[in-house]
Each structure stands twice: as structure tokens, then as C-alpha cells.
Amino acid sequence: MILYDEVIMMAIPTDPIILMSYLNTQLRDFYPSLTDWCQAEDLCESEIRKKLAAVGYVYDAQRNQFIAASCAE
């Protein structure tokens, strides 16, 4: 973590499972959609989706969270 003017800045996790957990927390607590989070973080939504799809998770917009692809409707 790097301190900037008393604000803690965290790097986005690179491990896909930790990233999924981090994202679901961010989406639950702060953002109404994955698109909003990606815009706020200046990240490519399709790259996030690909990274998590590679480990079996897909974004469910209705739930506003990543879920196991096997549970997707």
C-alpha cells in the first residue's frame, strides 16, 4: 500500500480468485454496476470479464456480482 496525502491506495488484485472477491465487495458496497466500477478505476471491463471467465466466473448484472458460471441462469 502507498500513502498519498493520508489516503491509502490499494492496487487491484491480480490473482483472479482474490480479484473476484475484491470486485464483489466493491460492487456490493460502492457501485451499482461493473461498468461503473470499471469507469471509476479506468479499467477495461472486457479484460476483467475475460480474466474471471478463465477461472469459471461470470458477471450477473441482476445480482451485481460475479458468480460461478455453473450457477448462471
What confidence category does residue 73 fall into, taking pLDDT thresholds of 50, 70 and 90? low
Residue 43, classed as helix, strand or coil, is coil
Dump strand ranges (E) for 14-64.
57-60
Q: For residue 1, tell me if it sits in a domain.
A: no
Provide the residue type at 4 as one letter. Y
Q: For residue 5, tell me if it sits in a domain.
A: no
Q: How long is the chain?
A: 73
- Give tens-digit pLDDT for 13-61: 999 999 999 999 999 999 999 999 999 999 999 999 999 999 999 999 9
Q: For residue 7, tell me if it sits in a domain.
A: no
Distance from C-alpha of 67 to C-alpha of 70, rounded to nearest angstrom: 8
Q: Examine the pLDDT at 1 and tell me if it is beyond 80.
A: no
More confident position, 4 or 68 = 68
41: CATH: 1.10.10
Q: What is the pLDDT of residue 72?
A: 78
Q: Which domain holds residue 30?
A: 13-71
Label the pairing between strands 65-68 and 57-60. antiparallel
Distance from C-alpha of 17 to C-alpha of 7, rounded to nearest angstrom: 26
Per the structure, how many domains does the chain have? Answer: 1
